[in-house]
């Protein structure tokens, strides 16, 4: 009888290991357009990256294999949901939904806050997963955080996006929230170095200035955490990005849409690097004609939706246009008569290209230390956060818990992992 009681106690303690681990908090920050090699470039340039170096020395740095397409809104929602773009449904920064006959535009706050854009395929952002497990989330201007998704939001948000907020202000607000004992997950978005990369190019002084600005914010964050007893030695920090950046020259490397098809014959979803095309009703133009006209041109490749390469995970979604064109890296597609100006950096290109890859650094009481640079999959950030917070009933995801757990000092036990895999695969439903 005594042996049985002792065995039960041991099994109970084993089950508690991950619960104890999950008592720590997570802060996840995205610096938009922070390419995988920007820290190397900044270090060679003599820039101050001391805070980033401190994190990578305490934890690890990774090059990130990101999703396709390499645009801000699809990529940020992929990080939040652990799903590829074709599965989470936010298929571009701008796109047309043929069922609702509505247009999503990242610049239109009133329309892009509508829940229908984020509820495709029952995707669930990590802030909702956390709260479903009894935690509390605070989110500062992440894609989707200002929207009631299936009538739920993070407990604390910053509302509609406002780019005027300075980085230190955002960090102060986040720390006000996460210092509360009830909050265990904080997420923050900042628009640099992406903005500088677009305007001046990835090799510019301005981008290096933006990297130093990001470092200043991280340094400030670390200093404040050390001063707050509720947070000191209790926070796992993950810092990553949505995509990288490639050099372009808007004066010499722009293809004009009107030189390929008549803009009046098609409806188009566009970023400067990609173009989705829908024939307009009543126009005498076919999908094959559109496809052929694009593929007669150099520096751009078009596909019928069903022929888009499988490795993109970007075709099995009715919101993706029936003809989709990808510019060669460094080239742009101009859809208006007004030419692009001051555009010397762009993303949206093939996610196999290193210049499209973002970076990642992470450190904390539960994060394992690696001396060598690692590879991390963007869609695995969701299961990584789940493991750190002890969330064993995820939504259905494409990310893999088994790729994330090697980055933990104390990986979850097999009971946790077995249940997690069943929910993540859709075998069990939330």
What are the pLDDT digits (tens) for 39-70?
999 999 999 999 999 999 999 999 999 999 99
Average pLDDT over residues 99-104: 96
SS3 at position 104: strand
Residue 404: burial class (beta carbons within 10 Å; 0-12, 13-18, 19+) = buried
Longest dimension (CA), the chain: 84
Residue 414 has pLDDT above 50, yes or no: yes
Residue 1 has pLDDT above 80, yes or no: no
Residue 389 has pLDDT above 70, yes or no: yes
Higher pLDDT, 71 or 7: 71
Average pLDDT over residues 243-269: 96
Q: What percent of the chain has pLDDT over 90?
A: 89
Residue 430 has pLDDT above 90, yes or no: no
Average pLDDT over residues 369-393: 99
Does the active-site annotation cover 274? no
Q: Please report the pLDDT score of residue 13 as a whole number.
A: 44
Average pLDDT over residues 207-218: 99
pLDDT in tens, 324-366: 999 999 999 999 989 999 999 999 999 999 999 999 999 999 9
Q: Please report the pLDDT score of residue 358 as a whole number.
A: 99
Residue 11 has pLDDT above 90, yes or no: no
Cα separation, 64 vs 383, in Å, equals 15
On average, the pLDDT of the chain sits at 94
Q: Give the pLDDT band (50/70/90) at residue 298.
A: very high
Q: Give the pLDDT band (50/70/90) at residue 4.
A: very low
Cα separation, 390 vs 396, in Å, equals 16
Active-site entry in 72, 157, 254, 405: 72
Q: Please report the pLDDT score of residue 22 as a whole number.
A: 54
pLDDT in tens, 223-253: 999 999 999 999 999 999 999 999 999 999 9
Q: Give the pLDDT band (50/70/90) at residue 420.
A: very high
As given in the structure block, the two tokens for residue 330 are: 């460094």
Q: Please report the pLDDT score of residue 20 as a whole number.
A: 40
Name the strands in the sheet holding 266-271, side by side, starting at the edge strand that comes first in the sequence: 266-271, 274-279, 323-327, 300-304
Average pLDDT over residues 23-27: 95
| Complete domains list, the chain, with CATH | 23-246+352-424 (3.40.720.10), 254-343 (3.30.1360.180)
As given in the structure block, the two tokens for residue 300 are: 């751009």
Q: Please report the pLDDT score of residue 21 as a whole number.
A: 42
Q: Please report the pLDDT score of residue 109 as a whole number.
A: 85
Residues near 172 by beta carbon (within 8 Å), at least 6 away in sequence:
224
Residue 7 has pLDDT above 90, yes or no: no
Q: Please report the pLDDT score of residue 14 as a whole number.
A: 43
Residue 19 has pLDDT above 50, yes or no: no
H or E element that contains 213: helix 205-227
């Amino acid at each position: 009888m005594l042996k049985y009681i002792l065995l039960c106690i041991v099994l109970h303690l084993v089950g508690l290991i991950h619960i104890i681990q999950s008592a720590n908090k997570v802060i996840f920050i995205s610096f938009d357009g922070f390419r995988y090699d920007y820290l190397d470039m900044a270090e060679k340039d003599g820039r101050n990256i001391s805070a980033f170096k401190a994190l990578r020395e305490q934890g690890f740095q990774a090059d990130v294999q990101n999703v396709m397409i390499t645009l801000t809104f699809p990529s940020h929602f992929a990080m939040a949901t652990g799903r590829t773009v074709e599965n989470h449904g936010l298929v571009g920064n701008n796109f047309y939904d043929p069922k609702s006959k509505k247009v999503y535009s990242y610049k239109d706050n009133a329309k892009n806050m509508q829940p229908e854009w984020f509820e495709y395929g029952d995707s669930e952002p990590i802030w909702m997963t956390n709260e479903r497990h009894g935690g509390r989330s605070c989110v500062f201007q992440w894609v989707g955080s200002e929207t009631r998704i299936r009538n739920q939001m993070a407990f604390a948000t910053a509302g509609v996006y406002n780019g005027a907020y300075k980085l230190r202000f955002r960090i102060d607000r986040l720390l006000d929230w996460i210092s509360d004992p009830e909050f265990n997950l904080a997420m923050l978005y900042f628009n640099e170095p992406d903005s500088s990369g677009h305007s001046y190019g990835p090799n510019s002084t301005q981008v290096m200035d933006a990297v130093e600005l990001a470092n200043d914010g991280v340094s400030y964050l670390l200093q404040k955490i050390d001063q707050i007893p509720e947070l000191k030695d209790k926070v796992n920090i993950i810092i990553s990005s949505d995509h990288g950046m490639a050099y372009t020259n808007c004066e010499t490397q722009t293809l004009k849409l009107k030189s390929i098809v008549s803009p009046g014959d098609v409806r188009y979803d566009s970023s400067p690097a990609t173009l989705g095309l829908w024939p307009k009703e009543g126009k005498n133009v076919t999908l094959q004609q559109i496809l052929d006209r694009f593929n007669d041109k150099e520096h751009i490749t078009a596909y019928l939706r069903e022929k888009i390469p499988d490795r993109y995970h970007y075709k099995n979604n009715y919101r993706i246009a029936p003809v989709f064109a990808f510019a060669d890296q460094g080239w742009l597609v101009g859809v208006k008569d007004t030419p692009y100006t001051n555009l010397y950096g762009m993303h949206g290109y093939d996610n196999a290209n290193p210049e499209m890859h973002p970076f990642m650094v992470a450190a904390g009481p539960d994060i394992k230390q690696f001396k060598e640079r690692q590879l991390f999959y963007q869609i695995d950030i969701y299961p990584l956060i789940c493991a750190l917070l002890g969330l064993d009933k995820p939504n259905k995801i494409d990310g893999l818990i088994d790729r994330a757990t090697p980055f933990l000092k104390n990986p979850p036990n097999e009971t946790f992992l077995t249940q997690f895999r069943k929910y993540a695969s859709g075998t069990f439903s939330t």
